[in-house]
A and B are shown apart, each in its own frame.
Chain A
Amino acid sequence: MGPTSYIWDGFVDPETFIATYSIEIARTTTLSSDLGATQIPSNITFGKSSEAIAYYAGK
């Protein structure tokens, strides 16, 4: 996840030279459930994640 990885080449803003990404990963199982996936979606964003940041900052 370091910035020297080539994966970020396509996500750098050409004006600010900044790449922003955010990560939240789906939970596949819970300790109290044997039913498998809990239908919680992953929340992975590249580039603009201002909406997600605003959401969490407001919590």
Chain B
Amino acid sequence: MSSLFNYSYPLDNFGFGVVYSVDTVDSSSYFYNMSNSYPVEFATNFMGLGLPASLYQEVISLLKFVTNNGIQCSNTLDGICTHPGACSDLSAISDYYFMFNFNSSEPEGHYMRVPIAAFATVVKHTGGDSTCNIWISYLDELATQSQNIILGGMFFQEFFGVFKNDYNDIQDPTQSAQLFVGQNSIYNAYIGNEILPEGTNPFITPPTPPPEEPGFSVVWIVVLSCVCALLLGFLGFALYRWKTAQVANPRGSQLVYNDNLEKATEKDGLIGVE
């Protein structure tokens, strides 16, 4: 591919998204194309991936969404993203990619997927804790060199780049570049033209299922519960009335009526009462 006059490489589109795989084979993908597009500049004196401010904001908002706000990103010049804990704790690191679709790619239709993991490093602290640094840097768009997406040295850990400078017109030298997946790539970097079916959009909150309508069984449970409660209440009330009746006349069972008394005195030979 050929460079622009300032030796940057224009993009048709720049995306951020996820590749779904089944048994380590890519099965589908979903990429969100950024509204802002800038040319790409290769610079080995730069650490990771540099993004002009507006593009940085777009990427960071998506990255925060897919990590449930698990990462912190600095909006200051050269600010990067950090995640408390090991990079391996952050599944987005291994699942998400940047897609570069170069304007002048040859063969036509080839694109490049750069894994986020290519820009991640682990920092070990003395207490044993770790921090995962994601070297996606905020660039000030007012600076001349910050008008481009910068792919720095970490990019060349996953990719192999060949650059050809042509000085036949000494006043206007030109540059072209060839990119290949590196011999030592370990994070599933990709260059090619594979077309994957569109997978689930990871950048929207899945709709919450509507609350279930109370079913027939639920209605019956409620009715039976009410009936049981009424029955228990009635039984309690009856028991209460029986108890209160007993308290009002505690010796009632020992009463001896006149008829019984007469019979008792006759039988036992006692003197009757007139």
Decide whether A and B assemble into one complex.
Answer: yes
Interface set of A (CB-CB < 8 Å, partner B):
1-4, 8, 12, 17-27, 29-32, 34, 40, 43, 49, 52-53, 55-57, 59
Cβ of B143 to closest chain A Cβ, rounded Å: 16
Closest A residue to B174 using CB positions: A3
Q: Which residues from chain B contact A57 at a C-beta distance below 8 Å? A: 180
Q: Which of B88, B159, B166, B173 contacts A31 (CB 8 A)?
A: B88
Complex: A53 Cα to B157 Cα, angstroms: 16
Q: Which residues from chain A contact B166 at a C-beta distance below 8 Å? A: 3, 17-18
Complex: A26 Cα to B87 Cα, angstroms: 20
Closest A residue to B170 using CB positions: A17
Q: Is the CB of A3 within 8 A of B122?
A: no
Q: Which of A21, A26, A27 contacts B163 (CB 8 A)?
A: A21
Complex: A17 Cα to B168 Cα, angstroms: 6
Q: Which residues from chain A contact B163 at a C-beta distance below 8 Å? A: 1, 20-23
How many interface contacts (CB-CB < 8 Å) are there between A and B? Answer: 94
Cβ of B11 to closest chain A Cβ, rounded Å: 18
Interface set of B (CB-CB < 8 Å, partner A):
6-7, 42-44, 86-88, 93, 117, 120-122, 124, 132, 153-154, 156-157, 159-168, 173-175, 178, 180-184, 186
- In the complex, which of the residues A21, A23, A55 has the most CB atoms of chain B within 10 Å of its own CB atom? A23
Q: Which residues from chain B contact A24 at a C-beta distance below 8 Å? A: 156-157, 159-161, 182-184
Closest B residue to A42 using CB positions: B156
Q: Is the CB of A18 within 8 A of B160?
A: no
Cβ of A34 to closest chain B Cβ, rounded Å: 7
Q: Is the CB of A4 within 8 A of B173?
A: yes
Q: Which residues from chain A contact B154 at a C-beta distance below 8 Å? A: 25
Q: Which residues from chain B contact A31 at a C-beta distance below 8 Å? A: 86-88, 93, 117, 120-122, 132
Complex: A1 Cα to B41 Cα, angstroms: 9
Q: Which residues from chain B contact A29 at a C-beta distance below 8 Å? A: 121-122
Cβ of A12 to closest chain B Cβ, rounded Å: 6
Given A3-B167, A17-B168, A27-B186, verify A52-B160 contact (CB < 8 Å): yes
Q: Is the CB of A59 within 8 A of B180?
A: yes
Q: Is the CB of B186 within 8 A of A30?
A: yes
Q: Which residues from chain A contact B186 at a C-beta distance below 8 Å? A: 27, 30
- Can you spell out 21 A-B residue pairs with CB atoms less than 8 angstroms apart? A1-B163, A2-B175, A3-B167, A12-B167, A17-B168, A18-B167, A18-B168, A19-B164, A20-B162, A20-B164, A21-B163, A22-B161, A22-B162, A24-B159, A24-B184, A25-B44, A27-B186, A43-B183, A52-B160, A55-B183, A56-B160
Q: Which residues from chain B contact A30 at a C-beta distance below 8 Å? A: 186
Complex: A34 Cα to B125 Cα, angstroms: 12
Q: Is the CB of A23 within 8 A of B122?
A: no
Complex: A1 Cα to B44 Cα, angstroms: 8
